[in-house]
Each structure stands twice: as C-alpha cells, then as structure tokens.
Amino acid sequence: MNLLQQEVRQVDSGYYAAYSGLLARTEALDSAASNLSNSGTKGFRAEREYFRSAIMGPDALSSQLNRTVNNFGVLGGNTLDLGQGALVPTGNPLDVAIEGEGFFAVRAKNGIRYTRDGQFQRSIDGTLINERGEAVLNAQKLPVRIPSGDTVISSEGIVSVDGAIAGNLGLFKFASANSIVPEGTNLYAPVDGAAPSVAKGSLHQGALEGSNQDAIQGTLQLILVQRQAEMMQKALTLFSNEFDKTASEELPKV
C-alpha cells in the first residue's frame, strides 16, 4: 500500500466516524428538544436514545471490519422512558393519576389509543371523556358511562356514584416500551397490533401525573447534545479539509 492510499484510508475512516457522530447527535438533538418542550405536558413519556454498532449480525462485535472501521456510535433510535412522573393534586374528582405501570385506554379517531393523561370529564350523555372528547374505556374496552352525583374512584379503578358501583377504568400495559409509539404528545398507539394485558398500577383520584421529563435535566441535556453536535460538525470540517490537502499534495506525485 503506497503512502497516498494509507493517508486516504486514515482520513476516510475518521471522516465516517465524524459523520456517524454528527448524525447521531443531530437526531438526539431532536429528541432532547421534544422532551424539554413537553416537560409540562400531563402524562408525557420522554424518549431516550439508544445506540447500535454500524455492522449488525451475530458476529458484528468481533468483526475486524467493525473494530477497525465501523465501530462508531450510530443512533439505533429512540425508546420510550416508562418511568414515573410526579403526581400533582388537583382536587377534581374526575382527575385520575396512575402510580406504577399501565395506561388508560381511549377510543380515538384512528382506533384505541393509550395515555397516562387522566384529566377526564363527564359528557352530556354521561360518557367519561378526555380533553379531546375521546371516550375513556373500561377493562372490557367499552366506554365508561357514569350518572351525575358524588363520584369516587378507588385505587383499583372501581367507579362509584353516590355509593353505587357505576363502572371501572381499564388499565393496560404492554410487553415493552417498544410495543407502542407516540401519536402527538401523550397518546400512544400499539406497534404491529401489539396486544396489551391488564396492568396493576394504583390510581389516585383528584390528581394528575406530570411528565417524566424534568425541565432542569432536560435543559442541561439539550445544551450538552448541542455542544456535542457542534464538535462533530467541526471534526467533519477538519477531515474534509484534510481530504483536500491530501489530494492537492499527493495526487500530482502519482
């Protein structure tokens, strides 16, 4: 291998490393900005980044090519953080917060969707609905209908009005965070027909769950990712300039 080939290969490897880093940081920047902007959204689940090797397969990590050329931080995607958000008392008897696992089910325009936002209200016909007017569903995935009166919601989701049981709130969970995807800010859809099972979270009447993204930590994360993206961009520029230098100095010698 001549000197020109060696120099080009070294610069080429560094160039793709910097490019992979810049791509990962740019995508992570979008996620960090979204998380921060929704730090005050009820029931919001933050998305966290995860990484993979550039070469996939059972022998990827031991591959010489992977170690020498492509072992860079490539963003594999985002996954939902299902960690608990803070419970904020409201005093409204139809506000319900989930402590622990699970999602409420609502009948949206595109089918049944899932949410941690428990800010509910009673419609004219007695159907329990959310802020978007979507019906809240019970354990059998049927709309919850309650008469007017003194409403009490137990920690297990049993709804009683003036001492008589009127229905129940369904609480559902999925096998993993990868089984659902966000639709908007705090509504989630099953992936590829993933079927939920019954959850065992505890409900708190007269409270709402906030976002699980802390505003301060979100701000610090956004600043950190911005700086990392700027560093990768500078590195990419340096390698690009090195390509030009190598070409102008060595090619005339060939």
Write out the two tokens for 130: 């959310």
Same domain, 150 and 232: no
**Rounded to an integer, what is the distance from CA 142 to the centroid of its chain?**
27
Q: Which residue, 15, 7, 6, is CA-closest to 70? A: 15
Q: pLDDT value at position 221? A: 80
Cβ-based neighbour number of residue 109 at 10 Å:
7
Last residue of a domain, one of 209, 224, 245: 209
Phi and psi at residue 188, to the nearest 5°: -130, 140
Same domain, 196 and 224: no
Same domain, 200 and 231: no
Name the residue with tokens 């229905």.
Answer: 167
Q: Which residues share a beta bridge with 51?
A: 75
Query: Residues with Cβ < 8 Å from 253, sequence gap 6 or more?
Result: 4
Q: pLDDT value at position 121? A: 96
Q: pLDDT value at position 251? A: 47
pTM: 0.72
Cβ-contact 13, 231 below 8 angstroms: no
Cβ-contact 61, 51 below 8 angstroms: no
Q: Which residue, 140, 161, 89, 145, is CA-closest to 118? A: 89
Same domain, 95 and 142: yes
Phi and psi at residue 168, to the nearest 5°: -150, 155
Q: pLDDT value at position 216? A: 87
Same domain, 127 and 147: yes
As for how many domains the chain has, the answer is 2
Q: pLDDT value at position 144? A: 97
User: How far apart are alpha carbons 168 and 156 in whole angstroms?
Assistant: 8
Which DSSP symbol is given to 186? T
Same domain, 59 and 161: no
Same domain, 149 and 193: yes
Which DSSP symbol is given to 141? S
Write out the two tokens for 168: 């129940």
Q: pLDDT value at position 57? A: 53
Same domain, 31 and 118: no
Same domain, 202 and 220: no
Q: Which residue, 136, 110, 111, is CA-closest to 121? A: 136
Q: pLDDT value at position 5? A: 46
Same domain, 70 and 7: yes
Same domain, 35 and 56: yes
Q: Which residues share a beta bridge with 181?
A: 189
From first to last of its 254 residues, the chain has per-residue pLDDT tens of 444 444 444 444 555 666 666 666 677 778 888 888 888 889 898 988 765 554 455 555 555 545 544 445 555 567 888 999 999 999 999 999 999 999 999 999 999 999 999 999 999 999 999 999 999 999 999 999 999 999 999 999 999 999 999 999 999 999 999 899 999 889 999 998 899 999 999 999 999 999 999 888 888 888 887 887 777 777 667 666 655 555 455 545 55
- Give me the domain span that covers residue 91: 87-209
Same domain, 159 and 141: yes
Query: Residues with Cβ < 8 Å from 241, sequence gap 6 or more?
Result: none
For 202-249, give the DSSP string.
EEEETEEE--SS-HHHHHHHHHHHHHHHHHHHHHHHHHHHHHHHHHHH
Q: Which residues share a beta bridge with 95?
A: 119
